[in-house]
Amino acid sequence: MRRNGLIAGLLGIGFSLAFSAHAEAAWRFDPMHSYIDATLTDQRTSGDVVQQHRVERLAGTIDEQGQLTLPLALDQLDLISQLPSWLSGLATGQVATITAEVDPGWFNALGIGESATRQLPLTIQGERFTRHEEVALALTRVGENEYRVRTAEPVSIDTRELMQLDNAQTILAALGFQRLSDTIPISFDARLLSD
């Protein structure tokens, strides 16, 4: 399974729209059908505890020139609802932004029912880190103005990258995690709608 430090921000996050005023969106993520699934393994003295979690309501856009922008926020992770109320303030606000250049021709070349896979160079920018990685994504045109994009091969994030996010250690400790495994397998699945 391939390590991918770039996607580390995706684990503790969700997405919200943020674009410059002059860029018009050509495609937008449908938050009700866009998510990341993650498998967390807590390495405890009594044995490993494996949990499935989801980053929900992913939202973002790709403009007409192919600029993808996805701001990331911790409060999209399903685990956050389990935090004690006095800690809930730690999980607010943007923690990172994912950007990429997507060739608009990738969308336009597909007929309904057709798929294509591409290696997409992504950049994730957080307050304390910047990462550049390539991720294989599969795009399927499922309707006239609707596409599905998902990871095309296994992706794992480096837990050390995750721990660089603000308040990550405090939040995980408050949720009862003792020691996460070195890598966290994730998968990405989203619906894109063209405007």
Q: Which residues of 161-188 are buried (b: 16+ CB within 10 A; e: fewer)?
A: bbebbbbbeebbeebebeebeebbbbeb
Q: What pLDDT is stored for residue 161 in this prediction?
A: 78
What is the pTM (predicted TM-score) of this model? 0.79
Domain ranges of the chain: 2-194
Q: What pLDDT is stored for residue 90 in this prediction?
A: 67
- Residues of the chain under the 50 pLDDT cut: 1-23
Q: What pLDDT is stored for residue 105 in this prediction?
A: 87
The answer to whether domain 2-194 has CATH 2.40.128.110 is yes
Reading the block at residue 12, the tokens are: 């503790």
Tell me how many degrees the CA angle 141-147-150 measures, rounded to the nearest 5.
105
Q: What pLDDT is stored for residue 146 in this prediction?
A: 95
Q: What pLDDT is stored for residue 123 in this prediction?
A: 87
